[in-house]
Structure formats: structure tokens, C-alpha cells
Amino acid sequence: MERRQFIQQSALALAMLSIYKSNAFAHGIFQQAYQFKPLRNNVGVFTEQGGTIAWLNSQAGFTVVDSQFPNSAPHVIEELKKLGNKPFKYLLNTHHHGDHTGGNIAFRGLAEHVVAHENSLKNQRATAEKANSLDKQLLPDLAFGNDGWKTNVGTEKITAYYFGPGHTNGDSIYHFENANIAHLGDLVFNRRYPFIDTANGANIANWVNVLDRITAQFDQDTVFVFGHSRDPEKITGGKADVLAFKNYLQSLLDFVGKEIKAGKSKDDILKATEIPGAPEWQGDGIARSLNAAYAELAVK
């Protein structure tokens, strides 16, 4: 390749990268051109804007976990329809936040059932009522309790687990048993500072216990789907990633607890730029973690 041609093409590539990055942060949430890809055994993932979506392509129909936003949900629906003229058997919500349920409305008249934990349903309804936006919601019609829920879609067995409050008080885990893929929703933020929804029942100490139960429930071959990741290419992982996030939460509690015992004020604690013992967690949002931990520990 001639030197001039190489320089021109390099400049074009850099310009395209610049456009891509500016679009990615246009809405304050990392956004990429949508990606629809299989993982294994007819289960795959979809990423565009908001929480990661998982999908099952069964001979008996489709199942989708989470729905992102109204503008992105139609894209996963379109991609699935390319795989065959089949019914949408279930839309499964991991929890109530809008970047996981806002796109539910795109499944109205399409999904046979919408499923979530009973606390997630309560939170979604209450949030919509407060915002006067119930008409823009598709609420779950099947709500399960703390004992979980099971169903079969074709030959795939799907089990929902609830291990108590963590990110919210209504976080569910959906396990595609034959594929051995478990969608954890926002119970894991992979190397990214998490949102801790204390207003809707989040509890960091119990979140640590939830992650312990996850690592005990699933085996070394389980592929975990994470709601969010600092690196958009790492929205799946294994037990090591779950344990790393558990270490982040425990390190957060240890650090804030030690600072409180040392007599530090909340303002002093909020000056921290890194959680000791968990340097992999970066990006924006450390103040959210410190605030939530302080609120949880200061009352003890």
C-alpha cells in the first residue's frame, strides 16, 4: 500500500472511531451499534443500549430476558423473527429498572407471558405510577415468589432463582439449564461501578451473600450474562468474574466501615477515588457506591 493511501485510510478510520465514540455517549449511557450473537445451544445475547438481553431460539418459540428501551427492543425482535416464524413464549425481567423493562412495551401483543419476581412487579408498577407512565409499560402477568419459578420451552428448561435483596429487592436469575447459561441481570456489574438502588431495597451486605449463593448454585462450565460491563465486549463471564465483583462489594463495605470507625465524615469518605482491594473497578459512579455503603453502615 502506498504511503499516501495508508495515511488517508488511517485518517478515515480515526474519524469513524471518533463518530462512534460521540454517538456512544450521546445519551449518557454507553451505546454501541447493536450486536446480536449466539453463545451456545440456541441461547445468545443482544446488546445496544441499557442492560444486556439474552434470548433463546427454541423450536417451540422464543424466550427473551430483559428488554432494554422502547427504541432498542424492536431490534432484538426483528433479529429473532429472522430465525423463524415462531411465537414469543416468554419475556423474562431480571428486575424493574427502565433499562431492563422499558422495552417491554414492544412485546405487547407478541409475548405470551411476561415474568418477574413479585417485588420487581411491585417496583415497576410503583415507579410507573409515580411517573404517570403506566400506559407506556407492559407489566408482568406472571409474578413468582421467593421459591422461584420453572418452565420448559421446547427441550430447554428455564429456572428462575431469587436469593434475596442485592441490587434491588427484586433481582432474579434466569438459568437456561441445557445451555448452562445464567442471566444475572444487574447482580453483576463487570469491572464497572454499580448502581445500588437503596430506595428499592438494595442491600450490599446481602448482595455479597447472593453472589456466594450464585457461585454455589452453578458450576465451572456456567456462562454468566451480566447486566452491564465497563468493557462492552465482556458482558459474559465465569465464576471468577462473579467472585471479583463480590470482592468489590466486600472491599467497599470494609473500606467505608473502617473510615466510619476512624471518625471520618461522609464528605471525607466521598473523596475516595478508588476502593482499596478492588482497583479493577473504574469509570464513573464511585460516589454512588460510597453513598450507599455509608447509608447502610452509618445506622449500625
Q: Is the Cβ–Cβ distance between 242 and 265 less than 8 Å? A: no
Q: Among 171, 193, 191, which residue's Cα sits nearest to residue 182?
A: 171
Cell of 194: 454499580
pTM (2 decimals)? 0.89
Q: Indicate whether 4 pLDDT > 70.
A: no
d(CA 286, CA 115): 32
Q: What does the DSSP assignment read for 96-140? A: --HHHHGGGGGGTTTEEEEEEEHHHHHHHHHHHHHTT-GGG----
Look at residue 44 in the predicted model and tell me its pLDDT.
98
Q: Indicate whether 120 pLDDT > 80.
A: yes
Q: Among 157, 170, 113, which residue's Cα sits nearest to residue 139?
A: 113
Across 265-291, average pLDDT: 96
Show the CA angle centred on residue 97, arms to residues 232 and 167, nearest 5°: 80
Q: Indicate whether 181 pLDDT > 80.
A: yes
Look at residue 300 in the predicted model and tell me its pLDDT.
58
